[in-house]
Structure 1
Amino acid sequence: MNLYPIEAGNFKLDGGAMFGVVPKTIWNRTNPADSNNLIDIAARCLLIEDGDRLILIDTGMGNKQSDKFFGYYHLWGDASLDKSLQEKGFHRDDITDVFTTHLHFDHCGGCVNWNKERTSYEIAFKNAKYWTNENHWEWATKPNAREKASFLKENILPMQESGHLHFISKPKNGFLNESELGFGIFFADGHTEKQMIPMINYKGKTICFMADLLPTVGHIPLPYVTGYDTRPLLSMDEKDIFLKTAVDQNYYLFLEHDAHNPIITLQNTEKGIRLKEVFSCEEILK
């Protein structure tokens, strides 16, 4: 097995929205804001090469939305999904499976593209199976008012219309659910219904793709959950369970949204669980 970080493009989000009730004087220490109160956010995806399977976890925003749409998110840097795949020696047509942690636009927008004529949409990975879970699909395709702006039908429905959509088996009791793709999954409901956190055994380490369960290093303290979470108290409970296990088992946490701290470990301190070490992707995924 080989693992490759795939940079799908950087953007910015409002720091207050990312930290909810936490005061700016606190979160600004770890996630400094610009003059517009915006903080750096990454869309760091993960590619798993395992035998004849090439599995891409999340796809970033994609590029099919309008200039007005992208203007809200202040794209920065020159990273793109295709460029990053090419740098690793791959093409989007090589991908056999696309796994979405959840269907918010910044995690699945790259799953679907315009067709050549820009008259309709088509799946971006024509040879791939697309994976979500049944509970989350139902949640995303019949969205509540709070999340409706994050579940864009043009990102989601073409997966089903193409015939490429598949559902991960329903979660069972217990911390870790083994999946059809060869890695474990932690299901979390605080951010959105049945978000899936992949847990990958890799060269004696457990690499956890944290998605929005832990967006950045600044979100490690238990009460620091985003304003986007639909069930913030549940997010805290899920974080408590996961981070305690991460310390006990020495998990390596792959941060999808932290633009400056790609992989981290945690430790117990007098103040609770806190950052232990920061690693580059090259140090851990070699």
Structure 2
Amino acid sequence: MKLYPIESGNFKLDGGAMFGVVPKTIWNKTNPADANNLIDMAARCLLIEDGNRLTLVDTGMGNKQNDKFFGYYSLWGDYSIDKSLAQWGFSRDDVTDVFLTHLHFDHVGGAIQWNKDRTGYEPAFKNAHFWTNDNHWDWATKPNAREKASFLSENILPMQQSGQLKFVNRPEGAFLEQSELGFGILFADGHTEKQMLPHITYKGKTIVYMADLLPTAGHIPLPYVMGYDTRPLLTINEKETFLNEAASKGYYLMLGHDAHNEIITVQHTDKGVRLKDVFTCNDILI
């Protein structure tokens, strides 16, 4: 097995929305805001090469929305999925599976693209299966008012229409020891219904792709919960359980949204679980 970081693009979001009830005077120390109160964000994906299978975890926003849409997110930098795949010697057509932690636009948008004459949509990975789970699919295709703006039908329905959609066989509990894709999955419900976090055994380490359970290193303290989460008190409980385990077992946490901290470890302290070490993806994955 080999793991590769895939940077799909950087953007900005309102710092207050990202930290919920935590005052700016506190979160600004770890995630400094610009004059418009926006903080730096990444859309960092993960590529897993395992035998004949090449699995991409999440896809970023993609590029099919209009300028008005992207204007809300202050895109910056020159990363793209195509450039990142090419860096490691791959192209979109090599990807056999796209594993989607959840179907919010900043995680799934890159899975679907315009067709050649821009009359409709098609999969951006023509040879891949797209993986979600049945509960989250129902949640995303019948969205609540709070998440409706994040679940865009043009990002989601073409996966089903293409015949390339597959559902992970979900266990009764919160953790699937080994999925069809060759890694464990933690199911978390605080951010959105049945978000999926891959747990990958790699070079004697456990690598966990954190998606939106822990978007940045600044979100480690338990009350630091995004305003976007549908069940913030549940997020706190899920974070507490996971971070205690991560600190005790020495997990390496790959942060999908932290523009400046790529992989971290955590440790137990008198104040609870806190940041231990920071690594680049090249330090741990390559």
In structure 1, how many angstroms separate the alpha carbons of the residues matched to 2:176 and 2:182?
A: 12
Task: Indicate yes or no: 2:121 matched with 1:132.
Answer: no
Q: What code does the residue aligned with 2:179 have?
A: S
Deviations 1:10-64 (A, max 9, x none): 0000000000000000000000000000000000000000000000000000000
Correspondence for 2:62: 62
Alignment of 1:1-286 (within 5 A): 1-173=1-173, 175-286=175-286
1-structure distance, mates of 2:52, 2:60 = 24
Q: Please list the CA deviations of residues 178-224 of structure 1 after superposition, one character each: whole Å capped at 9, or x if unmatched.
A: 21100000000000000000000001000000000000010000111
Alpha-carbon distance in 1 for matches of 2:215, 2:256 = 7
Size of the aligned set, in residue pairs, is 286
Distance in 2, matches of 1:260 and 1:172, equals 36
Taking the aligned partners of 1:58 and 1:172, their CA distance within structure 2 comes to 24
Specify the SS of the correspondent of 1:8.
strand
Q: SS at the partner of 1:61?
A: coil
Query: How far apart are 1:176 and its partner, in Å?
Result: 4.3
2:139 alignment partner, SS class: helix
The share of aligned pairs that are identical, in percent, is 75
Is the Cα–Cα contact under 8 Å of residues 171 and 177 in structure 1 kept in the other structure? no
The Cα shift of 1:170 comes to 1.5
SS of the equivalent of 1:259 reads coil
What letter corresponds to residue 249 of structure 1 in structure 2? K
Q: Deviation per CA, 1:228-265, whole angstroms, max 9, x where unpaired?
A: 00000000000011001001110000000000000000
Shift of 1:270: 1.2
Q: Distance in 2 between matches of 1:40 and 1:11?
A: 6
Q: What amino acid does structure 2 have at the position aligned with 1:81?
A: I
Letter in 1 for 2:5: P
Cα distance in structure 2, aligned partners of 1:278 and 1:172: 34
Q: What's the secondary structure of 1:266's corresponding residue?
A: strand
Q: Structure 1 length normalisation: TM-score?
A: 0.99
Q: In structure 1, the residue corresponding to 2:171 is in which secondary structure?
A: coil
1:177 positional shift? 3.5
**TM superposition shift of 1:174:** 5.3
Gaps of 5+ in 1: none
Structure 1 vs Structure 2 CA RMSD: 0.7
